[in-house]
Structure 1
């Protein structure tokens, strides 16, 4: 392996790391986040929020009852009438792409970004 090969490898690694850093920061810096709520695969409600938003919303459907709290830039399922309570025990979500699901009540809560034109499904850390 020559010195030019080593230089080429170093440049490729640096450019790859810079690209991952910039794409991660552009996603996290989006100020316009919203909570997307879906019941039984159909859109139910969208709530725009930031660090200062404090809202409690109730999700009632024929499948069950859920209560969602948005506070300090985090979204937490605080009550549900399902048997296992996994959605309530789950920690609060705050980053774009994170979800909380209540399977018995067919309720999905996801944080999305209004700033992104195309949604990114997953970013590896």
Structure 2
């Protein structure tokens, strides 16, 4: 089981499964949404994910028509994103995980958009855009 929460702990969640895939995303939107040089995400099955506290604090923002970014309306912590054409999958922001095993990233995407000052992990495969 995976557990986590936002910065203010107003939103808490559980995932009744394991994290099997970890991706580091260097796209411009992820960098801006995280305020960091990349985002570290895990695609998860929505049916196994549950907000256990603070459902009323969840806020969504559509930066593009196809993808909502969900965050805490109190502290601003990004929690997950969800594409409208894949509603059964969320992409959990792994910086919010407080309990459970997180494997090393399997790959990186949008490497052509990485921050110029950031050195990529050369041990992790890197793709210019979405994973082929």
Q: TM-score, normalised by structure 2?
A: 0.26
Name the structure, 1 or 2, with higher relative contact order (CA <8 Å, separation 6+): 2
Higher helix share: 1
**TM-score, structure 1 as length reference:** 0.27
